[in-house]
Structure 1
Amino acid sequence: MIPSPVSPMSKLTVVVPAYNESEGLRDFHARLAAVLDGLDLEAEVLYVDDGSRDDTYEIMCQLRAADPRVSTLRLSRNFGKELALTAGLDHVDADAAVVIDSDLQDPPELIPTFVQHWHEGYDVVYGTRASRAGETGFKKMTASGFYRVMGRLSATPIPRDTGDFRLLSRRALDALKQVRERQRFMKGLFTWVGFRQLSVVYHRDPRHAGQTKWNYWKLWNFAIDGITSFSGAPLKVATYFGMLTALCSFLFGLWVLGKAMLYGDPVRGYPSLMVVVLFLGGVQLIALGVIGEYLGRLYVESKQRPLYLIDEYHRPHDGARAPASP
């Protein structure tokens, strides 16, 4: 059943998580404000400071003082983008929310298109990158490989070449609020909630100002989080690889035994023995590492700590509020 179109007089919140983005925040808000001025609905902006070390939060407060549509939320420390994004979405009381980064790689001018499709009855409208300007060939290649690996391993069909830039309806937000896992891969969770989803293809621009906070080590760990959060395939691979290794070792053992019985065996063979021992030891360590990744996630989940802690939360022209963290 197709939902009825949303009333054009609905309310929209734009959630903007940021970490050390002081250099380009004012330019971002200028472009975003121009877009919101052209929308035929009530719109507001929620800036989430993920424990920045520069004056990002001070600039957010200045924007709040100058624009009555701006709210600010400051976390007690740097919790990472996934949890900063979760904090922002948890505080959305509008009919829909748009998630966008403040580096202007994702164009705010695409928001009216998202809103149009939302009014047509779609619950999740996400941007799919046709190109990624300003990024190295190696990063483009690894990003493409990651999305394709995720597509094969995950039972949840995660769209390729798609980031966090998207619109979520109220019922999609409510569904997402029910998912409180600590190790969060938001791109997968956005898809996991289901409902009617639509892709909008666009060309991604280079970063407007500042430096990216994602180095290759962080991207590698992010990829591991994504794979282990939405697939048990690595555990199966370790099992199958262990079985294959055991079979090869058994066959090799039969060959050694047969050779010794037929031709005898001098006391040589140290190199081949070391190769076998090191190979089997390596396979065992890899399998233990894979198991350890999943066990570590179970350990984190079992402690049931809050997802994030809030230092300050300001609505426009309101005093500071620090609501209880989840």
Structure 2
Amino acid sequence: MLPTVSIIVPLYYAEKLFPPLIIGLETLAQQNKEQFKTEIIFVDDGSKDNTFKLVQNLKPEHFSFQAIRLARNFKSYIAILAGIQQARGDYITFLAQDLQEPPELISQFFGLIQDNYDVVWAVRRTRADGFLDRLFSQLFHRLMNKIWSDWPKTGADMFMINRPVANVLLSMQEKNSHISGQILWSGFRQTQIFYDRQKRKIGKSGWSFWKKVELAVSVITQFSYLPIRACTVLGLILATTGFFYGILVIVQRLTLQITLQGWSALMIVLLIIGGFQFIFLGVIGEYLWRVFDEVRKRPAYIVMERIEGGNRE
């Protein structure tokens, strides 16, 4: 009996992207029908256009599918997590709606994961994006690699996992996290393939600059204590500097070198110290918010509609 590969496809305002996406999925399923059965899990992450209607009217020839529509936009990590929850396959992967990661990678994933691996990563070799996108991506992934040596320097957002790894991810029940980091953290037997990220052909990415910043903050605070450690080190540096400056002030006072002039220097010191204090409070607040968001036990996502259909003949 052939194994089943579940492909999660998060959708967000995907009207224009949907036709080429389905062509790519049909081609993938047809080309690999002798190797595995293909199940697609569409997750509409709160689109306000006709994306879900297109899914409802879908009549695939070579794959079966499920679809869920989330009550609002819960972001891509949660959409993928929701898809993993619905997936029935022996192996699970995901594909972006814009096809910047070629569907052919899934065939390579399947071939490698048969060699006694639990996780296969697609590591970006190059990416055909704008200069600023490439720059910020490189900075983020290199920083994460310095913090965590297992993190690929060029990024690895696409993967295939087997059922035991999927069960571990679902057991974590983390809302403010990053699925790639969770997989790396969990261990298991992992390997990599390399690919060139293609240029987006239709539309614009929904990932704005500030969404990327928010994601970076979430990943760093979720998987590293570096911000807290940096605050500690800066605090020690400031305290040490203040101690020696205090000694200098005492010496100058005893030697009658202090005059009434110095208000500007005092204000500069107060502003610098006050600024660092606000930074420290902000870092602590980021961690406290994540703790609060986890302990109040709200659901990670809410399903508004569901489709069970499209069984492949």
Shared fold (TM-score greater than 0.5)? yes
Determine whether 1:151 maps to 2:145: yes
Give the AA of the match of 1:124. Answer: V
1:47 is aligned, of 20, 38, 42, to: 42
**Residue in 1 that maps onto 2:180:** 187
For residue 317 of structure 1, report the CA deviation from its aligned partner.
Answer: 5.1
Say whether 1:171 aligns with 2:132: no
Check conservation: 2:124, 2:195, Cα contact below 8 A: yes
What SS does structure 2 have at the residue aligned with 1:237?
helix
SS at structure 1 position matched to 2:57: helix
Alignment of 1:13-162 (within 5 A): 13-39=6-32, 40-64=35-59, 69-133=64-128, 135-154=129-148, 157-162=150-155
**Mapped contact 1:16–1:100 kept (Cα < 8 A):** yes
Is the CA contact (8 Å cut-off) linking 1:183 and 1:225 kept in structure 2? yes
Which stretch shows the higher mean deviation, 158-167 or 69-78? 158-167
Quick check: 2:45–2:79 contact (8 Å CA) kept in 1?
Answer: yes
1:135-176 deviations in Å (ceiling 9; x for gaps): 22122111111111112224x722232343211111111111
Deviation, structure 1 residue 72? 1.2
Unmatched segments (≥5 aa) in structure 1: 1-7, 319-326
Q: Distance in 2 between matches of 1:63 and 1:317?
A: 8
Contact residue 99 and residue 164 of structure 1 kept, 8 A:
no
The aligned residue for residue 282 of structure 2 is 289
Q: Residue 67 of structure 1: CA displacement? A: 6.2
Please give the alpha-carbon distance, in whole angstroms, between the structure 2 residues aligned to 1:37 and 1:55: 27
**Helix, strand or coil at the partner of 1:214:** coil
Deviation per CA, 1:86-135, whole angstroms, max 9, x where unpaired? 000111111001111010100001211111001122111111111111x2
* C-alpha contact (below 8 Å) 2:142/2:154 kept by paired residues: no
The aligned counterpart of 1:214 is: 207
**Displacement of 1:265:** 1.7
Which residue identity is paired with 2:16?
E
**Post-superposition offset of 1:304:** 0.5
TM superposition shift of 1:17: 0.6
The counterpart of 1:242, out of the listed 208, 229, 235, is 235
Is the Cα–Cα contact under 8 Å of residues 26 and 61 in structure 2 kept in the other structure? no
Please state how far the C-alpha of 1:66 moved relative to its aligned partner.
6.4
Aligned match of 1:301 in 291, 294, 303? Answer: 294
Q: Which segments of 5 or more consecutive residues in structure 2 lack a partner in the other structure?
A: none
Does the aligned pair in 1 maintain the 2:26–2:60 contact within 8 Å? no
In the alignment, residue 216 of structure 2 is paired with which amino acid? A
8 Å CA contact 2:29, 2:62 repeated in 1:
no
| Greater mean alpha carbon deviation, residues 309-318 or residues 240-249 | 309-318
Alignment: residue pair count: 309
Q: TM-score, normalising length from structure 2?
A: 0.94
Give the share of equivalent positions with the same residue, in percent.
30
Change in 2 beyond 3 A, CA 1:108/1:168: same
Aligned amino acid, residue 72 of structure 2: R
